[in-house]
Chain A
Amino acid sequence: MRCRDARKQLGTHNYVEYNPEDLPEPLRTHLDLCPACRRWMERIRAVSDMVRSMAQPKPSDDFTSRVMGSLPKRSVSPVGNWLSGLFGPLRAPSPLLPATHTIAVACLVLALLVGGGLYAARTGSSVDLDMPGGAIVADGATPVTAAASVAVGMSHFRPVSASQPDVLGLEDLILRHENYEMNKPLSTDPGIRLVRDVGY
């Protein structure tokens, strides 16, 4: 047996912690015959002993009070627990990777928006949502407009505020009139409905 192989085996199987007589063959025989490997093993053991014998000091006396004084506010709500349980299996093994949790919640929100948007589109509008040049017109600036824009999944729909009447052309007004009864609000915001984009 070569010294190199012997040392690799000794190290890989942590045989350095064994008594020489407990070592399996052919390691035992090799160590009996090889003073260099015996010396090597003794040195490795000496290093282990040195590390193990190091002092184990205590942290400062006010360690715990400083930790407790630095704790962030944490709300424990039933909803939070339910969500936490729901996404538990998706969690990354490391607690320092909150991104997975955030992504899971973001997916839920996105799914709700897409689902809600498609439902509203199916049930509430005769306007072809795939029609290019469409726009979502809102009576007031509201975050829902942006969300609905994402929900229908079309980048060519854009939120437009009705407080800016100059963005509505004649064609839009005609279309709005014709479809007035048929168009239902795209979202719960009654100010949102679909009209043709006029290129603004």
Chain B
Amino acid sequence: MTAGPTLSLEQIQGLVRRAQQGDNAAFEQLVELYKTKIYNYALRMLGDPDTAEDVAQETFIKAYSSLSSFRGAAAFQTWLYRIASNLAIDTVRRRKYRQNTFSLDEPIETSDGPIERDIEDDAAGPERRFESAQLQQQVSQAIVQLSPKLRTVLVLYELQGLSYDEIAGIVGAPLGTVKSRLFNAREQLKKILVDEVDVETFR
């Protein structure tokens, strides 16, 4: 889970007010506070670091342009996530991010070149297996196979650690819908991962 801002709510509100009055240094502090959260959210939504960085940057630029319309009724964080969520979903749709189905036989593309998938045997400890880059990649690939709505709720809840209420505010859906989507997301993710990897071996 991403570490949250170390400033108090009042301090963050103060930064927002200053930024609204044209203080760019205050806005810069807000970017510093939230950049890792927003970037990770975009990364898990899109599965691609470069696109995630673009979407995260665009989120802050949009937020800056819309600062005057932020009234503080919602937490600044919720507001930022809402912008990021809209941008990420737009990106998914615009670029027609197809479900990234993959085969365990396919090599994984990394910055250091393609590497072969190496599914470790059961003799290895579960912690070690889980920490492997290959598995992280597989989970990441599985997440982007979910529909954008399910993906949004899953990432916000499981990875970003937001509450149901916050997520409901971000996606603009009732609490029950959020819970239902989370359940469906987990269920679908389970199916995807069980098809590709025996999920039980990672417990």
In this complex, how many residues of chain A approach chain B with their Cβ under 8 Å: the count is 44
Bound Cα distance A49, B158 (Å): 8
Tell me, rounded to whole Å, the shortest Cβ–Cβ distance linking B88 to chain A. 12
Bound Cα distance A71, B66 (Å): 11
Q: Quick one: which of A66-94 are within 8 Å of B by CB?
A: 66-68, 70-72, 74, 76, 80-81, 84, 88, 91, 93-94
Q: Tell whether, in the assembled complex, residue A59 and residue B190 are in contact, meaning their CB atoms are under 8 Å apart.
A: no
Bound Cα distance A66, B61 (Å): 10
Residues of A within 8 A of B65 (CB): 72, 74
Interface 0/1 of B34-48, CB less than 8 Å to A: 011001100110000
Residues of B within 8 A of A96 (CB): 62, 66, 83, 86-87
Q: Tell whether, in the assembled complex, residue B143 and residue A74 are in contact, meaning their CB atoms are under 8 Å apart.
A: no
Q: Is A95 an interface residue (CB 8 A)?
A: yes
Q: Tell whether, in the assembled complex, residue B199 and residue A67 are in contact, meaning their CB atoms are under 8 Å apart.
A: no
Residue from B69, B158, B172, B194 within 8 A of A95 (CB atoms)? B69
Q: Tell whether, in the assembled complex, residue A72 and residue B159 are in contact, meaning their CB atoms are under 8 Å apart.
A: no
Bound Cα distance A44, B190 (Å): 6
Tell me, rounded to whole Å, the shortest Cβ–Cβ distance linking B139 to chain A. 5
Residues of A within 8 A of B83 (CB): 95-96
Interface 0/1 of A7-50, CB less than 8 Å to B: 00001111010000000000000000000000000111011111
Bound Cα distance A98, B43 (Å): 26
Q: Tell whether, in the assembled complex, residue B69 and residue A91 are in contact, meaning their CB atoms are under 8 Å apart.
A: yes
Q: Tell whether, in the assembled complex, residue B57 and residue A51 are in contact, meaning their CB atoms are under 8 Å apart.
A: no
Chain A residue nearest to B194 (CB atoms) is: A43
Tell me, rounded to whole Å, the shortest Cβ–Cβ distance linking B70 to chain A. 7
Given contacts A12-B180, A94-B86, A95-B63, contact A46 B200 (CB under 8 A): yes
Interface residues on B, range: 35 or more
Given contacts A43-B190, A44-B187, contact A59 B200 (CB under 8 A): no
Given contacts A76-B21, A84-B69, contact A49 B79 (CB under 8 A): no
Residues of A within 8 A of B172 (CB): 93-94
Q: Tell whether, in the assembled complex, residue B143 and residue A51 are in contact, meaning their CB atoms are under 8 Å apart.
A: yes
Q: B residues within 8 Å of A by Cβ?
A: 1-2, 20-22, 24, 27-28, 31-32, 35-36, 39-40, 43-44, 49, 53, 56-57, 60-71, 79, 82-83, 86-87, 130, 135-136, 139-140, 143, 154, 158-159, 172, 176, 179-180, 182-184, 186-187, 189-190, 193-194, 199-200, 202-203
Q: A residues within 8 Å of B by Cβ?
A: 11-14, 16, 42-44, 46-60, 63-64, 66-68, 70-72, 74, 76, 80-81, 84, 88, 91, 93-96, 98, 101
